[in-house]
Structure 1
Amino acid sequence: MTMPPAGRRVAIVTGAASGIGAAAAAELESRGWAVAGFDLRPSSHCSFDLSLDMSDSESVSNAVSQVEQELGPVGAAVSAAGYYEMLPVSEITLDKWRRMLAVHVGGFVNLSRAVLPGMIMAGTGSIVAITSELAIGGGSNDAHYAAAKGTLLGLVRSLAAEFAPQGVRVNSVAPGPTDTPLLAPDSPWRAPEYLASLPLGRLTSPDEVALCIAFLLDEGTFCVGETLNPNAGAVI
């Protein structure tokens, strides 16, 4: 691996193989960032690609160290890895609760713990968590997903308050239903009657979410503990 040109900024994007993570990686690369993609599957959008499970704290720590060695200090981290599952609460087993929390909450915590020391040492850095409009508005048959995404909102605000004085900004993006493979063709979020209920009348696109992420990293240097809501008006 060749080191990026001197002065090129380094970002980590989790879930970079598809959907919002892939769109974020591509957008950041287009803006001159050297992007390291973390995912269970290979990504074609990144300068550097590592396969790992974000719920495994040791694997995440080792991967971040490898990025720092190969690309340089990490200036930004985007936690987009995750999955979506609709189930009545009566069908959410303990294992399903644990896995949902381990991937979404554990993945964000593991990433943050691994990148924060370097950012604090540098006196600068930005972390963005991808949460969901369901964290704000809730949803029928979405209890474990909404709980995991809602927990992220509290974590983001707490980390923002703790680390802003040390130069590290922590924010989140809470998309509404987004046109990615996570939403099956027969998903109720794709139903014409649901789309008609949205002020914009359509799903959010991954590229639109990526623009919000890039804004928080590049232009939104005044944002600390904030949540942007690209949700086509689903929650106003």
Structure 2
Amino acid sequence: MRGRVALVTGAAGGVGSTLVRELAGRGWRTAGLDLRRAPDADHSVSVDVAEPAQVRAAVRRIERELGPIEAAVFAAGHHAIVPVSDIAWPDWRRMLRVHLGGVVNVCAAVVPGMAERGRGAVVALASHLAVGGASAEAHYSAATGAVIGFVRSLAAELGPSGVRVNAVAPGPTDTPMLPPDSPWRRPSYLQGAPAGRLTSPEEVALVVAYVIEDATFCTGEVLSPNAGTVL
């Protein structure tokens, strides 16, 4: 894998930056897409992943400067806890545009090249809430659930081409996305979890790297590093 190019969206965030460092340590050349600068990436492009034209231009630039993208990892997203009755349509739209739209836009830009070369790995980060749901997180659960549906459909479509498509659905992860007053950080919640703690971003990055490099037998799968919080 040494010298191959991996694209990571949300590369300036807690999980995204950890993913970039993990892949770089394994010899990958990394390209980060984010609204903010991604200092750990070899190549950082400021992009709104919900905007198709921006994504296409960024992918062309990355492949021109670094080479063909062999792996694409989607870590861009945001999280909010809001009762369903208080979720306004713009909130629904933003959640879906960033999570599902971001994955779709990047896939549209990178997958044709992967399929033409006959190889490639796509990994989309979803959430344990995509499967289990949670009170006051309907729009986040719905958006990440849509990502899993897209991943499984795309895996079936691309299987004959040699391109693998999988999802990683972490449990509550110890990053700034979870504020100090998050219910997922409450001792009452953590004490009921088998590991008694949140998932670490390093654990998520290890699972993603495994799916890209070693799990060549996996496509259309959902792996969930969650410290036992989802059983």
Query: What TM-score, normalized by structure 1, do the two folds share?
Result: 0.96
Aligned to 1:173: 168
**Residue identity (%):** 55
For residues 1-236 of structure 1, what are the structure 2 equivalents within 5 Å? 8-236=3-231
Aligned amino acid, residue 51 of structure 1: S
Runs of 4+ in structure 1 displaced over 4 angstroms?
none
- TM-aligned CA distance change 1:232 to 1:138, over 3 Å: same
C-alpha distance in 2 between matches for 1:196 and 1:122:
48
Aligned to 1:3: none
Give the unaligned 5+ runs of structure 1: 1-5
**CA positional deviation for 1:7:** 6.4
Instruction: Provide Cα deviations, 1:73-131, integer angstroms capped at 9, x if missing partner.
Output: 00000010000000000110000000000000000000111001110111000000000
C-alpha distance in 2 between matches for 1:113 and 1:63:
12
Q: Find the residue that maps to 1:222 and give its secondary structure.
A: coil
Instruction: Provide Cα deviations, 1:159-217, integer angstroms capped at 9, x if missing partner.
Output: 00000110100001000000000000011100000001111100000000000000011
- TM-aligned CA distance change 1:81 to 1:199, over 3 Å: same
Instruction: Provide Cα deviations, 1:27-80, integer angstroms capped at 9, x if missing partner.
Output: 000000000000010111111000010000010011011111000000000010
Q: Find the residue that maps to 2:30 and give its secondary structure.
A: strand
C-alpha distance in 1 between matches for 2:15 and 2:220:
20
Q: Find the residue that maps to 1:197 and give its secondary structure.
A: coil
C-alpha distance in 1 between matches for 2:214 and 2:2:
18
C-alpha distance in 2 between matches for 1:72 and 1:7:
13
**CA positional deviation for 1:146:** 0.1
C-alpha distance in 1 between matches for 2:106 and 2:6:
12
Cα root mean square deviation, aligned? 1.0
